[in-house]
Structure 1
Amino acid sequence: MASSHDYNPGPQIAHAGGINLGTPDLERSLWFYRDLLGMEVVAQSDGVAYLRGYQELVHHSLVLTQQAEAKVNTYSFRVKRPEDVELFHQQLTAAEVETVELPAGHETGRGTAIRFLIPGGEHPIELYYDIDKPLAPPELRSKLPTNSSRRRGWGVRRLDHLNVQTSPSTVNQAEGWLREALGFKRREFVMVPQAPQTVMASWLSVTHQSHDIAIGISPDETNGRFHHVAFNIENYSDILRITDEIKDLDIEFGHGPGKHGIGQAMYLYIHDPGSGHRVELYSGGYDIMDPDFAEIEWKLPAVEWGQTWYGNLLDVGPGAKFLETMPSAGLKA
């Protein structure tokens, strides 16, 4: 038997680390994320702002980029060890996945990274390890050392998960690649009833959460689509308070409040008024502690409970606004 000192699990993903959202109206988006959601602007220059939630000790999890088109520029994941960036680069190159090397500082406060497109999904992914951990300015600093700043506004704690979509013809490839190449574990999933070999939606994680990323089929049969980014909110009551307050604000209301059966968290979907990007405010959810947790398949008619355990059912019929998605950038955008 090999010594435990010889064991090397290979490169691994630690968690969902960030998202770079292109917005045609940066000031309006900043008002939404900074003033309403209470995120801290850690740095801002040349039409780019870096923000974090009040329990994120790292430099940022959200990048807002002023640009003509509202699209997702990148989806980022932090790896577990500094060497994992290079090890993933080697694996991707060996698998003939085109990869771009990014120097330290490509995103302010972040170290070297690599970028590639998910095979089949065509979503631009960045992997990194090194990231600064700046203190908040004194006027925002919390007395709690586990908080990067005081809780303000609607109280976004951290980025929770990403939700993307791709075409029915490529979704199996993309979802399988996330599991096989990046090590995500399928936690819950739904197959297309009329085509039971095709994934309709899959919730995947590498952490204790039910999902760090979810991927499903795009209704308009295109690749590289973005459905929403979720930010974690501490309490159910906070979700209800936000629901009440947005009625007095010029913000597009999406769906909720309600509770998902899949993931078991309370949700509220709203839209960034500067860009139209969909944002889920997400509270609660179950934790996965068992190393042998068995993936769970949802089938009709119970899948309706998976979508909404309580609250109004999500409208997922033909032409439903909840099915609308936003584009992602290419590899070298």
Structure 2
Amino acid sequence: MAKLSDRYDPGPQVAQCGAINLGTKDLEKSLHFFSDLLGMEIVQRDGNIAYLRGYQELTHHSLVLQQQEESIVNSYSFRVKRPEDVELFATEFERQEIETLEVPTGAEAGRGTAVRFLVPGSGHPFELYYDIDKPESAEELRSKLPSNSSRRRGLGVRRIDHFNVQTSRETINQAESWVRNNLGFNRREYALHRDDTTVLASWMSVTPQVHDLAMVANSFGKTGQLHHVAFNLENLSDVLTAADVLRDFDVTFDLGPGKHGIGQAMYLYVLDPGSGHRVEIYAGGYLIFDPDWEPIKWEREQFPDGLTWYGDPFVYKGDARSLETTPSAGL
């Protein structure tokens, strides 16, 4: 029987954060960090490439680690809502004269065809896909809970949470508005520069989360920058446990633990020992269900509370330069 919604076409839509593909100079160190310590499952390894997921992720992977000379982000991927949305997005991007590349099925293990492009105004390599395998874990890792892909291990990463990216102050308005107008991200909370026009930071989502994607101005004029990738833990206390455990393994802390005012989640920023990429260990936060949600604007005098509600002290200097030396600014 056909559903009422089948009579209407909302157009192509992004459903959620899918995965991040990180280059690492030392794959074994990165695997020790993400798998042994954070507890992510290694679903598949093909030579110098490993695919991992959290214990509540049923799809093939949310993290790809690739041994290479440069520790750069190879791609940020998002899953779309319907199989046809991949082609619909590609057609629209071509109409806008945005160069696209079809990534064939299997180019990233377990994943179907994707469309790859650079975000206008930021240069970040985004990929959109729908089809992805849902393999069972090895029997010795399998959970009795059918909603879990594996048992909880290590520090208990449940899933990927969000990406935080940076682009230049000169291009951030173009990039931030493009992802909202073309990929359907909703602005949830934001701050502007002193000119009250240029975006300083914007937290956006396609899910009820406060942000699946954050975009921050880089005052050094850099584009295509990763600020951090966040992985979700179940409880606020899990972040404190993570801090205690990771200190004992000499993992470098960047900031935290503490709590953000923006999004209201607990945070701990650390560096992956193999790649140097900044990783946020993240728990809590509020959810948005109101269809008429109005974005919350943070004024300059309020902004320090938005960045750190409690935890590391932070003094906001009124520009994006201070955000780059203070990871909590990116949330």
Q: TM-score range by the shorter chain?
A: over 0.9
1:51 corresponds in structure 2 to 52
Q: Does the 8 Å contact 1:22/1:70 carry over to 2?
A: yes
Matches within 5 A, 1:138-217: 138-193=139-194, 195-217=195-217
Change (3 A) 1:256 1:78: same
Matched residue SS, 1:42: strand
How far apart, in 1, do the equivalents of 2:315 and 2:240 lie? 20
Map Cα deviations across residues 240-259 of structure 1 (whole Å, 9 max, x no partner).
11111222212111111111
Over the matched positions of the two proteins, sequence identity in percent amounts to 60
For residue 316 of structure 1, report the CA deviation from its aligned partner.
Answer: 6.5
2:16 corresponds in structure 1 to 15
1:329 corresponds in structure 2 to none
TM-score w.r.t. the length of structure 1 is: 0.94
2:270 corresponds in structure 1 to 270
> How many residues were matched structurally?
321
1:241 corresponds in structure 2 to 241
Deviates more, 1:304-313 or 1:142-151: 304-313
**Which residue identity lines up with residue 118 of structure 2 in the other structure?**
L
How far apart, in 2, do the equivalents of 1:237 and 1:225 lie? 30
1:328 corresponds in structure 2 to none
Unpaired runs of 5+ residues, structure 1, are 325-333
How far apart, in 2, do the equivalents of 1:69 and 1:303 lie? 35
Matches within 5 A, 1:256-295: 256-295=256-295
Q: Does the 8 Å contact 1:23/1:68 carry over to 2?
A: yes
Q: Does the 8 Å contact 1:307/1:313 carry over to 2?
A: no
**Which residue identity lines up with residue 197 of structure 1 in the other structure?**
T
Q: Does the 8 Å contact 1:209/1:287 carry over to 2?
A: yes
How far apart, in 2, do the equivalents of 1:44 and 1:253 lie? 28
**Which residue identity lines up with residue 255 of structure 2 in the other structure?**
H
2:72 corresponds in structure 1 to 71
How far apart, in 2, do the equivalents of 1:136 and 1:231 lie? 20
For residue 5 of structure 1, report the CA deviation from its aligned partner.
Answer: 5.0
Q: Does the 8 Å contact 2:304/2:316 carry over to 1?
A: no
How far apart, in 2, do the equivalents of 1:4 and 1:68 lie? 48
Map Cα deviations across residues 178-200 of structure 1 (whole Å, 9 max, x no partner).
0001110000000012x221000
2:98 corresponds in structure 1 to 97
Map Cα deviations across residues 73-117 of structure 1 (whole Å, 9 max, x no partner).
000000000000000001100011100001100100000001000
Unpaired runs of 5+ residues, structure 2, are none
Matched residue SS, 1:254: strand
How far apart, in 2, do the equivalents of 1:36 and 1:5 lie? 45
How far apart, in 2, do the equivalents of 1:4 and 1:47 lie? 44
Deviates more, 1:107-116 or 1:306-315: 306-315
- CA RMSD, aligned part only? 1.5
1:330 corresponds in structure 2 to none
2:308 corresponds in structure 1 to 308
How far apart, in 1, do the equivalents of 2:7 and 2:52 lie? 40
